[in-house]
Amino acid sequence: MSELTSTSRHQQAARALACLDLTSLNLDDTPERIDALCDRALVPAPGIEIHPAAVCIYPRFVGQARSRVHSAGIAVAAVANFPLGTAPIGEVIEEVEQALADGADEIDVVFPFRAFLAGDREAGAELLRRVGLICHQHTALLKVILETGVLHEASTIKEAAQIAVDNGADFLKTSTGKLEPAATPEAAQALLEVIVAARGHRSLGLKVAGGVKTVAEAAAYLDLADRYLHPDQAVPSNFRFGASGLLNDIVAVLGSSHDTQLSSDY
C-alpha cells in the first residue's frame, strides 16, 4: 500500500486501537502482569481516550481481568485448547465453562488443526459444535483460531474456516502467534472470502493475530478488510487485531508516550 499521510496514520492508529485485543499469553504470566495489562487497556497513554476492544488472556485470569476492565466496556477474551489445539475435548469444555462462569465475554479456541491436516474433519466440527453451544448460551463470542500458517494453502485454510463457520464460529482468527508464519495478508484474504460468502446467512468477523507490530502493518489489514466488507467498514464488531506490541506503535502515532513496554505475544 502507499505510504500513509500523517492524518491517515492517526486515523488508522485510532481504528486499530479500537479493534485491538490487547494480549498477554505467556506461560509465566502472573497476576501482577495481568494487572499491568489491564492498566494499559484502561489508559493506553495519557490523553488517549480510546480503549482496546478486549483483553485476551489465559482462563485462570478471567475473574481478575473482568473486575478491572469490564466497567470500562472492555471485553474479556479467554483462550482455550491453546496453543497446540490437541487437548481432549472434555478438558476444553471444562476450560470454556469455567472461563464463562468467571465472566469471559469471548472465547478464542484453537481449532484442532493438526488433526484436520491428518484427515480428521470431524474432530474440529465436534469440538466447535460443543464449544459454540456453550458460548452462545452465555451470549459469548466464539473466535476460532485456525493457525493459518500451518494450514498454509488458501484452499486448506478455507476448508477449515468453513468447518468453523458451519459449527458456530463468530470470528475466524488467523493464528495463535506461537508458530511461524503467523498472520499474512494472503491468509486474511482467504478468511475474508469465507466471511463474505456467508453474508446473508450469518454475520462473521475476522481477527488478525500474529506479527502485526506497526500501524502501517495494521493499516494494510484494515484496508483489506474494508474492501471485502464494503459497504461496511472494519469495526470492533467484525474485525480485531490480536496483539500486545502493536499498542506501542499506536501510542507513538497518536502522539503520546508511555513508559511501560509490554512484551509482544503476537
CA separation for the pair 41, 39 (Å, rounded): 5
Q: Exactly one of 108, 170, 249, 265 is catalytic; name it.
A: 108
110 close to 79: Cβ distance less than 8 angstroms: yes
106 close to 63: Cβ distance less than 8 angstroms: no
**37: number of CA atoms within 13 Å, CB side?**
33
Q: What is the 3-state secondary structure (H, E, C) of 36-48?
A: HHHHHHHCCCCCC
Q: Is 207 a catalytic residue?
A: yes
Residue 121's φ and ψ, nearest 5 degrees, are -85, -20
Question: Which triple of cell numbers denotes residue 170?
Answer: 463468530
Q: Is 143 a catalytic residue?
A: no
CA separation for the pair 197, 105 (Å, rounded): 26
**46: number of CA atoms within 13 Å, CB side?**
3
DSSP secondary structure string, 208-261? EESS--SHHHHHHHHHHHHHHHTTS---TTTEEEEESTHHHHHHHHTT---S--
Q: Is 173 a catalytic residue?
A: yes
Cβ within 8 Å of residue 71, ≥6 positions away: none
CA separation for the pair 69, 67 (Å, rounded): 6
Question: Which triple of cell numbers denotes residue 176?
Answer: 495463535
Q: Exactly one of 21, 143, 158, 173 is catalytic; name it.
A: 173
Q: Catalytic residues, which ones?
A: 108, 173, 207
